[in-house]
Structure formats: C-alpha cells, structure tokens
Amino acid sequence: MKIGYRTIKTAIGTPLAIWIATLLGLENFASAGILTILCIQITRKRSFLSAWHRFAACMIAIVFSYVFFELFGYNPVAIGLMMFAFIPTTVKLNISPGIVTSSVIILHLYVSSSIEWDLVFNEILLITVGIGTALILNLYMPSLENKLEEYQKQIEDNFSIIIKEIAHFLRDGNDGWTGKELTETAVILEEAKSLSFRDVENHLLRTHNHYYHYFHMRTKQFELLERMLPLVTGIGGTTEHALKISEFFDELSEGIHPGNTAVLYLKKLKEMRDEFREADLPATREEFESRASLFHLLNEIEQYLIFKRSFKKSDV
C-alpha cells in the first residue's frame, strides 16, 4: 500500500497542531487538528486558497454567531436561522469551501452559552494554529519533474512507433500492428496533463509552464495522428507518391523529441508537395482517390508539424 505525501502531512500536521494548541493553553485544543486535516491540499496554490477561504469563513462565522445567538438565544433554532444567512453569504463571497471548517467554530461558540472576548480570542488562535500548521506543511511539495519527464519520453516513443507504422503501411501494406500504442498514448496524455496542471499550481510565481504547454501540444498532434490512420488504410496499392511519403514518415519518426525541428520538415514537405503537383494526372478513378487521400494525408501531417513549430520550449 502506497502512502502519499498528503497522508504523511496529515499524520504529521494533526498532532503538531494539537500539541501547539495545548502549549498555548487553548480550549477545544483538539479542534486545531481538525482544522489542519481540512486544510491539507495537494498543491501550493490550492493550499493558499484553502487557507484564505477557511480563515475568512471562520471570521464571518464568529460575527454571525454573536449576532444570531445573542438575538435568538443559544438553541438549535438560532443555528438554523444563522445557516440561512451564513451559507449564502460565503457563497456570495466565493469562500464556500470554508463552511465545514467554520462549523467547528460555530459549535464551539454555541456550547459556550455566552460569547466573550476571551472566547473569541481563543477561537481565533485555534484557527490560526490549525490553518497555519497546514499552510506551513503545504509549502513543501515533492518535485514532479522526474515523472513528467517519464511521461514525455513514453509519449515520444509511442509517437515514433505510430508514425513508423504509418510508413510501413504506405510502403508494403503491413497490417500486423496491434495499435496498442494508440490506447497507451491516450491514457498517458490524460495522466500527464493532470500532473502538469498540478505542477503549474505548485509554482505560485511562474506564469508559464513548459510541460503544461508541451502535453497540450502533443494532445493536438495525437488527435491528428488518429485522423491520419483512416486515410492511410484507405490508400489502395503502393504508388510512387506513397513510397515517397513513407520515406518522409520514416524520417519524421526518428525526429520525435522535445527540440523544435518542425521548420526543416515543413520545408521538405513543401518540396514534396510541389514535386507531386508536377506529376502526371491519375489515369483511373482508383488512382485519383488514392492520390486525393495522399494529399489529404500531407495536409494533416503539415498541421501536425505546425503545432510543433508553434510550441516554444522557452515557455518555462
């Protein structure tokens, strides 16, 4: 059973918050641990947002508790009436994630039967200790660099295989490929995009993220590769044009890497298209349909290369 960093932080933070609250002599000191559990997040950005939502909601809860309990008494009806006003207020202020946390504070004030300044100060310290402990622990986030590089390598290897299989089919009609790289790549891309988004949220001051843009670019390219396959299977027979395009695909399959060499391939693609335009017109309907599919294939691979050309590794 694998134990994640969030579990470890919770296991460390909960007793730590309770211990600090105990040292400060706070009432309801165990609640500091509950607040810490509720505030542990998987990214730094979510951690800061969570801390703000919960702190702001707790401050509003203290004010609402004083008003409603003093007006309607310390009874369940007062809690119900207060919730009718408190919950819409937090939603309006975009701090609704703090509702659960603030309910801990509300119940403390409710059972006190009298809200005095020393009790309010005690609750504010509890909030500070609980949320602060979680915030400090969330400052450390494990690096995702190695896993993202692994995903990048897997995707590039699969792209190379897919493009090489397209070349094989154009050259000799090889249909022995199982296509498992297509399924694998679709799964890896989803996982990689999710992980790269987490990496974005772990860097508060970074405006760009190389991996996030990279996997977005590869997703667009993968969609084009999937669209190319029906075109390739619809090309009947091996023609001179098909052989030249297969050579181009073979060369392209060897150049799948993070670097940007798309401009060179686009130039070769233009030269090949110009050469095809100078060729004799197809003599039969089958040759015409095959030629049309090949030109459509060229358009798709051109778009594939344009996506790569637009990607800049400097987006870090």
Whether residue 315 is predicted with pLDDT greater than 50 in this model: the reply is no
Dihedral Cα 13, 17, 23, 29, nearest 10 deg: -140
Lowest mean pLDDT among 149-158, 177-186, 277-286: 277-286
| Exposure on the CB side of residue 85, measured as CA atoms within 13 A | 12
Mean pLDDT to the nearest integer, 262-286: 75
Ranked by mean pLDDT, which of 104-118, 221-235, 272-286 comes out on top? Answer: 104-118
Mean pLDDT to the nearest integer, 159-175: 84
Angle at CA 119, nearest 5°, toward 116 and 121? Answer: 110
Residue 302, CA distances (Å) to 22, 130, 306, 313 in order: 66, 55, 6, 20
Do residues 98 and 58 lie in contact, with contact meaning Cβ atoms separated by under 8 Å?
yes
pLDDT at 157: 93
Do residues 295 and 276 lie in contact, with contact meaning Cβ atoms separated by under 8 Å?
yes
303 or 291, which is more confident: 303
Note every long-range contact of 173-177, with CB atoms under 8 Å and residues 24 or more positions apart, other chains counting.
173/238
CA pair distance 94, 101, nearest whole angstrom? 15
The DSSP 8-state label assigned to residue 74 in this structure reads S
CA pair distance 169, 73, nearest whole angstrom? 80
Do residues 189 and 219 lie in contact, with contact meaning Cβ atoms separated by under 8 Å?
yes
pLDDT at 287: 64
Mean pLDDT across the chain, nearest whole number? Answer: 85
CA pair distance 134, 13, nearest whole angstrom? 6
pLDDT at 277: 73
The DSSP 8-state label assigned to residue 173 in this structure reads -
First to last CA, the chain: 35
Report the b/e string of 132-143 with b at 16+ CB within 10 A: bbbbebbeebee
- Percent of the chain at pLDDT > 70 equals 89
Whether residue 263 is predicted with pLDDT greater than 60 in this model: the reply is yes
Q: Is 115 helix (H, G, I), strand (E, B) or coil?
A: coil
Which residue stretches of the chain are H helix?
Answer: 5-23, 30-39, 44-72, 76-92, 99-112, 117-137, 145-172, 180-201, 210-233, 240-253, 262-277, 285-310
CA pair distance 240, 229, nearest whole angstrom? 20
Closest CA to 33 of 6, 14, 55: 14
CA pair distance 114, 74, nearest whole angstrom? 8
Mean pLDDT to the nearest integer, 175-184: 84
At 190, list the tokens: 């989803």
Which residue stretches of 73-116 are H helix?
Answer: 76-92, 99-112
Closest CA to 296 of 260, 275, 304: 304
Do residues 76 and 110 lie in contact, with contact meaning Cβ atoms separated by under 8 Å?
no
The DSSP 8-state label assigned to residue 93 in this structure reads T
At 231, list the tokens: 């075109």
Do residues 197 and 233 lie in contact, with contact meaning Cβ atoms separated by under 8 Å?
no
pLDDT digits (tens, 9 = 90+) for 72-127: 999 999 999 999 999 999 999 999 888 988 998 999 999 988 888 999 999 999 99
Do residues 262 and 308 lie in contact, with contact meaning Cβ atoms separated by under 8 Å?
yes
The DSSP 8-state label assigned to residue 205 in this structure reads T
